[in-house]
Structures are given as C-alpha cells and as structure tokens.
Amino acid sequence: MKNDKGGEVEISKTSNIRAIIKHNPKTRAIFDRYGLLECGGAAGPAEPLGFFARAHNVDINVLIGELQSVIGHSNG
C-alpha cells in the first residue's frame, strides 16, 4: 500500500481500514467476505484492522496475508 508520499506502507493491525480500501479498492471484497458489508459506508470504517479482526473473529495474520496478496497482484 502506498502512503501519501508515494512510498510503500506495510499493512499491520494498526492500519486504517478506510485507507486500505481507498488505496486498494479490490480489498473491499475481502472485508465484505469477513462481514464488513455496509459498515462505514462505501469508504469503509475509520478503524484499525486489528479491531475489525477481533470484532469479526478473524485471525489477523490470515487477514493481513489475504490483503497483501490482493494488493501485490493489483500493483503488478
């Protein structure tokens, strides 16, 4: 994922869901599969990834791996 200066940012449990979706719209499908649906509207909620994982009973490492996989494919 790129930051506002164009540099790469690693996804972690503190990453903001809204920022992840904004920079990589294809990740929305992963969040929806785990129950995000309409939460936070089209932009998604402004909450940390770790909070989402706990609230939806998702293994954070699995979630991060899936997001990184989609982001890697969309960048290259």
In a domain, 70, yes or no: yes
Going by C-beta distance under 8 Å and a sequence separation of 6 or more, which residues neighbour residue 18? 40, 43, 44, 45, 46
In a domain, 50, yes or no: yes
So what's the pLDDT on residue 28? Answer: 92
In a domain, 4, yes or no: no
Q: Please count the structural domains in the chain.
A: 1
In a domain, 3, yes or no: no
In a domain, 6, yes or no: no
Q: Residue 76 pLDDT more than 50?
A: no
| DSSP codes of every residue in 49-76 | HHHHHHHTT--HHHHHHHHHHHHHHHH-
Range of the domain at 38: 17-75
So what's the pLDDT on residue 45? Answer: 86
In a domain, 8, yes or no: no
Q: Residue 3 pLDDT more than 80?
A: no
In a domain, 41, yes or no: yes
In a domain, 7, yes or no: no
Q: List, for residues 4-59, the tens digit of each pLDDT value.
A: 445 566 899 999 999 999 999 999 999 999 988 777 787 888 899 999 999 999 99
